[in-house]
C-alpha cells in the first residue's frame, strides 16, 4: 500500500510504503536547494539518511522541528509561497498521523513575514 507524501517545497512528490522502509514517510530532499535556508533545511537530508526511512524517527520531535523551521524560513524568503508551504506542513503532519506518529499542526505564522516598506 502506498501513500503520497510531499515535503519538497518546490518539486513535491515522493511515494512511500505503509511500512517503515526506505523511501520514508516524507521526502526531505528539499534540503539540497541553496536558498538561504540551508541552516534549517540541509539537516533534513541528513535526517532522512540517518532515520533509514523509519516513520518513528522521521516524525519525531527533532525532525518535525526542522521541517517547521525550514518551512518558516522559506516563507520568510518568499512570502508568495505561503499557501504551498502550509500545504506541505499539513501533508507532513497528516502523513505522520497516518503512520500513528502524530506531530500535531504545524502552522506557518503569517506574521513571520518580513516587513515591507
Q: Give pTM, 2 decimals.
A: 0.68
Nearest to 3 by CA among 88, 76, 73, 98: 98
Whether 47 and 29 have beta carbons less than 8 Å apart is answered as no
pLDDT in tens, 23-72: 445 555 455 555 689 888 989 888 988 999 899 999 999 999 999 999 99
pLDDT in tens, 58-115: 999 999 999 999 999 999 999 999 999 999 999 999 999 999 999 999 999 877 666 6
Q: How far apart are CA 48 and CA 84, in angstroms?
A: 22
Q: How far apart are CA 55 and CA 41, in angstroms?
A: 19
The neighbour count for residue 48, using CB atoms within 10 Å, is 23
C-alpha cell recorded at residue 89: 506542513
Amino acid at each position: 500500500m502506498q501513500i503520497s507524501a510531499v515535503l519538497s517545497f518546490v518539486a513535491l512528490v515522493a511515494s512511500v510504503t505503509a511500512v517503515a522502509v526506505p523511501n520514508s514517510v516524507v521526502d526531505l530532499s528539499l534540503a539540497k536547494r541553496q536558498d538561504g535556508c540551508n541552516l534549517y533545511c540541509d539537516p533534513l537530508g541528513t535526517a532522512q539518511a540517518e532515520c533509514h526511512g523509519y516513520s518513528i524517527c522521521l516524525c519525531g520531535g527533532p525532525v518535525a522541528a526542522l521541517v517547521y523551521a525550514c518551512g518558516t524560513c522559506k516563507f520568510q524568503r518568499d512570502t508568495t509561497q505561503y499557501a504551498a508551504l502550509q500545504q506541505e506542513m499539513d501533508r507532513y503532519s497528516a502523513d505522520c498521523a497516518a503512520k500513528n506518529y502524530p506531530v500535531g499542526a504545524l502552522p506557518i505564522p503569517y506574521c513571520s513575514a518580513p516587513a515591507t516598506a
